[in-house]
Chains A and B, each alone.
Chain A
Amino acid sequence: MQLHNLTIREAHELLTTKKISSVELTQAMLDRIHDVDKKVKSYVTVTDDLALEQAKQADERIAKGENVTPLTGIPFSMKDCISTRGVRTTCSSKILENYIPQYNATVTNKLADSGAVLVGKTNMDEFGMGSSCENSALFPTHNPWNLDHVPGGSSGGAAASMSASLCTFSIGEDTGGSVRMPAGFCNVTGIKPTYGRVSRYGLIALASSFDCIGPMARDAYDCATVLEHIAGHDPHDSTTYNSPVPNYTTNINKPVKGMKLGIPKEYFVAGMEAGVESAMQEAIRTYEKLGMEIHEVSLPHTKYGLPVYYLLLFAEASANLARMDGTRFGLSVSDGAKDVIDIYLKTRHAGFGDEVKRRIMLGAYALSAGYYDAYYLKAQKVRTLLRRDFETAFSKVDILLAPTCPTTAFKLGEKTSDPLEMYLSDIYVVSTNPAGVPALALPAGFSNNMPVGMQLIGKHLDEATLFQVAHAYQQVTDWHKQLPQL
């Protein structure tokens, strides 16, 4: 039995029947991180002492049989944009390289309450800006399936840590595909919940109207378990829904026969890698065999998803990142500064990477006098049309299926010289965030020995259907069980 490869429910069974302790499981995971992560480089910080302390407490909870949840004693990793009190939280940026938050994100508190064990914080593109994890100002992360390839981004460290069995589940964050795209590249299952389903309090903001915290795990069942524990209303985040969090695993085994699966024709166009295309066709046939009705649908504004997403993201990010100013926390470059503006200019010049600089400048441009109507306002109007596309599609079908990316994971360095080329790799994942709908990514096969990801897109607040349809697929396929050789 290899402890690092267990699912959450396998580990839970072993923990509650006292066959293993959380300290053993956690120590095994930490040992593996210190061994294997030299190659993968998915972790920015490994929290050995905290993890073993939390594991000890979890074992006490289990021994007393008090307050034991499905996550009690389970080791997890978390994207380094989610605040952890007393544990460095860098956003993989030089400007926050030594920043230690004085408070926890709501998600951090909820996971601590459930008894889960934090083993470390994972690498990401700086402030979530990127699609390959190469924009981390600390170091790039490597794809566990082939170390010369990228893990995807921006939650590249999270996906790689899950894929390489360096945690039992991982918490990522998806602003425009940042959970789903790397999940697809690394052969793991991950969900971007409905906007407002999970509290953003303590998440270091990228684009506040898109940002969604979501879990990655071995399969849809485990993702459902984690989401149940992190979702819900939070008085600290007024955009969170008041509606109760369903028990996502209750109906996960319900047959999908008779349900309507929509195939958006705009997602199946020229430019898709042949192996990705054939994996999607195979998945559609699998769902047909499971008794789902297949319908072609149209999301006519799909090609505008990318410019809408990026323009609005630039604008929101330029405002959100104003707080990184070198006066209250984080890096401060004040040598020779003659006034406070000088500190801002010097600190931000030294502390931000090129992609961050590009995006906040373009955001200011899109919001500035003379361009606001042409860019920001125009993008918000087309965003309305994107939302209507999904509403129209969901009046005909229950769920949509599409690839997460037109290709499998590309090589490190392949797209770093052209920012626009890098943006284009997000083409299939960005439209859901301006619309706010939930989407789940899951493994769907291999092309040239690299994983192919597909995503299921659902109605607002209908994560239960996403889990049900993904679980049905994972009962009859074993792509999600394939592990990289490391």
Chain B
Amino acid sequence: MTQTIDTKTVKHVAFLVRLGISEEEAQTFSGQFSSIIDYFNMLNEVDTENVPPASDIANAENVLREDVVKPSMSREEFLKNAPNSERGYVKVPTVLGDE
């Protein structure tokens, strides 16, 4: 199967990964994505009937531990890298609509 990835799809996936994108960039990526995805389609040649998907490489079992409270980074230390903070919190603009 050969498919082209049009600019509408590019803009859709850009929004899914929260990436601003210009019309011009969408054009460029559209062409590049089509050739990359076309190359990946070679996987269709492989018979994977009855082949389980790989889930883990090394240690096949779940690793459990007690949930113990330990000292962690202080609030002041953490906020050193925050671009905007107030009264010990990371500050961002409106998350939900203001209506």
Q: Which residues of A contact B (CB under 8 A)?
A: 99-100, 102-103, 194-196, 209, 235, 238-239, 241, 301, 303-304, 307-308, 310-311, 318, 321-322, 325-330, 332, 334, 337-346, 348-349, 352, 357-358, 360-365, 368, 375, 377-385, 387, 419-420, 423, 434-436, 460
Contacts and interface: CB of A to CB of B under 8 A. Distances in A.
B51 A381 contact: yes
B35 interface: yes
A337 B18 CA distance: 14
A334 B93 CA distance: 9
B79 to A, nearest CB: 9
A385 B48 CA distance: 9
Interface in B41-57: 42-44, 46, 48, 51-57
B71 to A, nearest CB: 12
A342 B93 contact: yes
A464 to B, nearest CB: 17
B69 interface: no
Interface string B1-34: 0000100011001101111110001000100110
A91 to B, nearest CB: 14
Interface string B70-84: 000100011011111
Given A209-B57, A304-B43, 18 more contacts: A195-B57, A196-B57, A301-B46, A322-B18, A326-B83, A327-B83, A327-B92, A332-B84, A340-B92, A349-B20, A363-B17, A368-B16, A379-B43, A380-B53, A423-B36, A434-B57, A436-B57, A436-B58
A344 B14 CA distance: 11
A329 B40 contact: no
29 contacts: A100-B81, A102-B77, A209-B56, A308-B43, A311-B40, A311-B43, A322-B18, A326-B83, A327-B83, A327-B84, A329-B81, A329-B83, A334-B93, A340-B93, A340-B95, A345-B18, A349-B21, A358-B36, A361-B10, A361-B19, A361-B29, A362-B33, A365-B9, A368-B13, A381-B51, A381-B53, A383-B54, A420-B32, A460-B58
Chain A contact residues, majority secondary structure: helix
Contact of B40 (A346, A360, A375): A375
A209 B97 CA distance: 38
Nearest to B35: A420
Contacts of A238: 59, 63
Contacts of B57: 195-196, 209, 239, 434-436
A425 B44 CA distance: 22
B56 to A, nearest CB: 8
B19 A352 contact: yes
Nearest to A102: B77
A195 to B, nearest CB: 5
B20 A343 contact: no
Contacts of B84: 327, 332, 334
Contacts of A344: 18
Given A304-B42, A304-B43, A241 B58 contact: yes
B36 A362 contact: yes
B52 A384 contact: yes
B58 A307 contact: no
Contact of A345 (B10, B20, B53): B20
A304 B43 CA distance: 7
A301 to B, nearest CB: 7
Contacts of B40: 307, 310-311, 375
B59 to A, nearest CB: 6
Given A338-B93, A348-B19, A358 B53 contact: no
Given A364-B17, A365-B33, A384-B54, A337 B93 contact: yes
Contacts of B44: 378
Contact of B93 (A343, A365, A375, A384): A343
Nearest to A308: B43
A23 B52 CA distance: 55
Nearest to A306: B39
Contacts of B18: 322, 325, 341, 344-345, 348
A226 B53 CA distance: 35
Contacts of B78: 102
Nearest to A194: B58
B58 A383 contact: no
A435 to B, nearest CB: 7
B20 A365 contact: no
Given A346-B20, A380-B55, A381-B52, A329 B82 contact: yes
A380 B54 contact: yes
Given A304-B42, A419-B36, A360 B83 contact: no
Contacts of A318: 17
Contacts of B94: 338-340
Contacts of A329: 81-83
A381 B55 CA distance: 9
**Central interface residue in B5, B10, B83, by most chain A CB within 10 Å:** B83
Nearest to B54: A383
Contacts of A379: 43
B22 to A, nearest CB: 8
A414 B33 CA distance: 20
A255 to B, nearest CB: 30
A307 B42 contact: yes
A357 B19 contact: yes
